[in-house]
Structure 1
């Protein structure tokens, strides 16, 4: 079942392991490509030959990502050879316009439902694709090319090189614009409330359940607004990558924030003002405690939240 991607830039961020199967029916040969595909911020400059994107409008202002693929190409009957290519992705929300490195349009993509079927005309052949996000750790991409010049299929699988811990994390804000952070028992870092989805559970439902379990706060899934997807280092599990689906929620009016009590695996709850959150980002320590701020919160989520709240 496809995995809906609401923040495509956050989902793609970083380096993927890439494996491609190549079937050239016209030539009667086959081959493989093995390497990496890295997505990183691209310089804010537009190639001179770049026309306006021709696909569906992006669902939010575009972020520019450089997608650089490099590795080894092995074709039947030929010696292995190095191969690389670069595309420019203009990403907004769940959508993207993909351009060649010289600025020419390639195709559009939208993964809010987890899958899409983009196409591209490259005279004299037609390119048709099936793109599917299978999970936060796997993306599949199959191009079928047909026409008088080419008859081939390219099947690409992207996976993350490190094992991935997938969580739902909650940006819980009080009426006084304080961020609620928690520290789990036996750990030394404050982070957002949240945790791993249970089997068959969506990320929004997981956010609601975790908040109820950890703080006794039952808001229901409808109270949670998707606030982005982030990849980074986990606070307590070395050798893993963390993928967080973040949701923003407000503390109900009339509920005393100081009444929030730790439950389940939570040892401590703190309310951080924007000034304290900014200090935690700068120093790496939560003010008034000997404990650190979790890497993902410090490096990605808190800076974006501070920019949004001023």
Structure 2
């Protein structure tokens, strides 16, 4: 028997997201082309892809940074409304990623910024980013 889904439930997007904090306590946030909300680097998990592998791939695609598996620490799952897809919900697998010191926006990324948690809170933020800042940055 197949899985029964609620037809009234919002569509789900499965993503992997990176919490990247530098030695100065600044968070790396990105803004996609044509959008206003800042968020973690990361993106959609392809069918059959492991979340950590998706994250490593997305980091390379979005900010031209090479990440090794030992740099990635699992922070677990999160749910949040999607920032750029109205009416959709995120199932996010969140990871801390150590050792990223530069971010060159590529592909769909319009801007990458390093900001303190207080500076971040002054920006338009994706709902997932709001939750992560609240829970992880104090």
Match of 2:132 in 1: 301
**TM-score using structure 1 length:** 0.41
- The count of residues paired between Structure 1 and Structure 2 equals 136
Query: Is residue 249 of structure 1 aligned with residue 126 of structure 2?
Result: no
Q: Any idea what SS the aligned residue of 1:173 has?
A: coil
Higher relative contact order (CA 8 A, sep 6+): 2
Supply the distance in 2 between the matched residues of 1:231 and 1:159 (Cα, whole angstroms): 17
Structure ranking higher in strand proportion: 1
Structure ranking higher in helix proportion: 2
CA contact 1:179–1:272 (8 Å) conserved in 2: yes
Match of 2:44 among 196, 200, 211: 196
Supply the distance in 1 between the matched residues of 2:80 and 2:5 (Cα, whole angstroms): 16
Gaps of 5+ in 2: none
Q: Which has the larger radius of gyration?
A: 1
CA contact 1:175–1:251 (8 Å) conserved in 2: no
Match of 1:224 among 62, 72, 81: 72
Match of 1:268 in 2: 111
Match of 1:174 among 11, 19, 22: 22
Query: Is residue 240 of structure 1 aligned with residue 88 of structure 2?
Result: yes
Measured against aligned partners, the alpha-carbon deviations of 1:226-258 in whole angstroms (never above 9, x if no partner) come to 112111111111111111100001235xx4x4x
TM superposition outliers: structure 1 runs of 4+ over 3 Å: 157-160
Gaps of 5+ in 1: 1-20, 22-139, 141-156, 287-291
Q: Which residues of 2 match residues 154-173 of structure 1 at below 5 A?
A: 159=5, 161-173=9-21
CA RMSD, 1 decimal: 1.9
